Structure 1
Amino acid sequence: MKQQFHYATITEAITQLHKQGYTLDFDLKKDKLTADGKDYPADDFEIADLYRYEGASDPADEATVYALVSKSGLKGLLVSGYGVSSDSASEETLKQLHYKYQESKA
């Protein structure tokens, strides 16, 4: 899927992606995604699209919005800040999602 839009702000991206059916709001914990009290294996998901935002003067303002889709059709968002590392397992899981995304673009 080719990125078709660029949203001016993170808030605009989230609002518009929610309208497109990305209604789950995911957190990444080790090798799983969590939303609404449920756990989902991260390897069941692929990145459908992503949007990167960089703060003009403050690196703490940098973030990525990931639009994720599961093999079974679940759609949701994961918002991740740069430089904020919760643990190495979560970082590795995010790298694997990126790898699958890059492979699908090749």
Structure 2
Amino acid sequence: MNNHHYDTVTEAMAGLKERGYLTDFELLVEKECLACHKTSSYLSPEEFEIDEIHRFEGDSDPGDEMIVYGISSTIHGMKGIVVNAYGLYSDPNTYKIVSRLKKHI
């Protein structure tokens, strides 16, 4: 269960990193996977679980509507962060990748 509350995307990312979510994952639409640039690897979303979700509303700018996910994989021994837009600027192709992550929460 997520007991952490953050006011900004930056705070959420810092808080997750403090708790061991050290890898910044990128959603790669063309490969339908998570990219880890630190290890130069492409990973299947099905091998990860969502541990936390932090959603941020864009009070004055719809471009600020973001979701920060804390994800982990026992298969790969990794914990990391995925940041994705929602609302007006969301990409349905990145949502397809996120929807393949297991819901642990």
Shorter-chain TM range is 0.7 to 0.9
The aligned residue for residue 35 of structure 2 is 34
The aligned residue for residue 90 of structure 2 is 84
Moved more, 13-22 or 34-43: 34-43
The aligned residue for residue 22 of structure 1 is 21
Equivalent pair of 2:45/2:100 in contact (CA under 8 Å):
no
Segments of structure 2 that go 5 or more residues without pairing to the other structure are: none
Count of residue pairs brought into register by the alignment: 98
Cα distance in 2, alignment partners of residues 96 and 35 from structure 1: 17
1:67 paired residue among 53, 70, 88: 70
Task: Quote the offset at 1:25 in angstroms.
Answer: 0.2
Q: Which amino acid aligns with 2:85?
A: G
- Output the aligned Cα RMSD: 1.6
SS in 2 for 1:56: coil
Cα distance in 1, alignment partners of residues 26 and 35 from structure 2: 5
Task: Quote the offset at 1:56 in angstroms.
Answer: 0.7
Cα distance in 2, alignment partners of residues 39 and 96 from structure 1: 15
- Identity within the alignment, %: 35
Task: Quote the offset at 1:92 in angstroms.
Answer: 1.5
Q: Which amino acid aligns with 1:52?
A: R
Give the 4+ runs in structure 1 shifted more than 2 A: none
Cα distance in 1, alignment partners of residues 81 and 44 from structure 2: 15
Segments of structure 1 that go 5 or more residues without pairing to the other structure are: none
Q: Which amino acid aligns with 2:81?
A: L
1:13 aligns with 2:12: yes
